[in-house]
Amino acid sequence: MEHTVCVFGDSGVYGGYAENNWAHKLRLYLEDSSDEGRFLYALGIVGNTSVDILDRFEKEALPRKPTSIIFGVGKNDSAYFLDSGKSLVGEKLFKSNILKLTDLAKKFTTNITFVGLAIGDDSALKPYTEAPIQNLAYDRERAKKYDLLLKELAKQNGCKYVYLYDKLNFGDFIEGLHANDQGHEKIFQEVKKVISF
Residue 79 CA to residue 63 CA, distance in Å, equals 32
Q: How many CB atoms lie within 10 A of CB 1?
A: 8
pLDDT at position 35 is 65
Structural contact between residues 138 and 82, judged by C-beta atoms closer than 8 angstroms: no
Considering the domain boundaries, does residue 8 fall inside one? yes
181 CB-contact burial (10 Å; exposed 0-12 / middle 13-18 / buried 19+): middle
Considering the domain boundaries, does residue 112 fall inside one? yes
Determine the structural domain holding residue 157 and report its residue range. Answer: 3-77+90-117+147-194
CA dihedral 192, 158, 7, 128 (to 10 degrees): -90
Considering the domain boundaries, does residue 17 fall inside one? yes
Q: Tell me how many domains the chain contains.
A: 1
Q: What is the 3-state secondary structure (H, E, C) of 72-128?
A: ECCCCCCCEECCCCCECCCHHHHHHHHHHHHHHHCCCCCCEEEECCCCCCHHHCCCC
Considering the domain boundaries, does residue 126 fall inside one? no
Considering the domain boundaries, does residue 141 fall inside one? no
Residue 124 to residues 101, 138, 162, 164, 176, Cα–Cα distance (Å): 32, 9, 26, 21, 7
Considering the domain boundaries, does residue 110 fall inside one? yes
Domain with 17 in it: what CATH number?
A: 3.40.50.1110
Per-residue pLDDT of the chain (197 residues; tens, 9 = 90+): 788 999 999 999 998 778 889 999 999 998 887 667 889 999 999 999 999 999 999 999 999 999 999 999 999 999 999 999 999 999 999 999 999 999 999 999 999 999 999 999 999 899 999 988 999 999 999 999 999 999 999 999 999 999 999 999 999 999 999 999 999 999 999 999 998 77
Residue 115 CA to residue 10 CA, distance in Å, equals 12
Considering the domain boundaries, does residue 133 fall inside one? no
Considering the domain boundaries, does residue 132 fall inside one? no
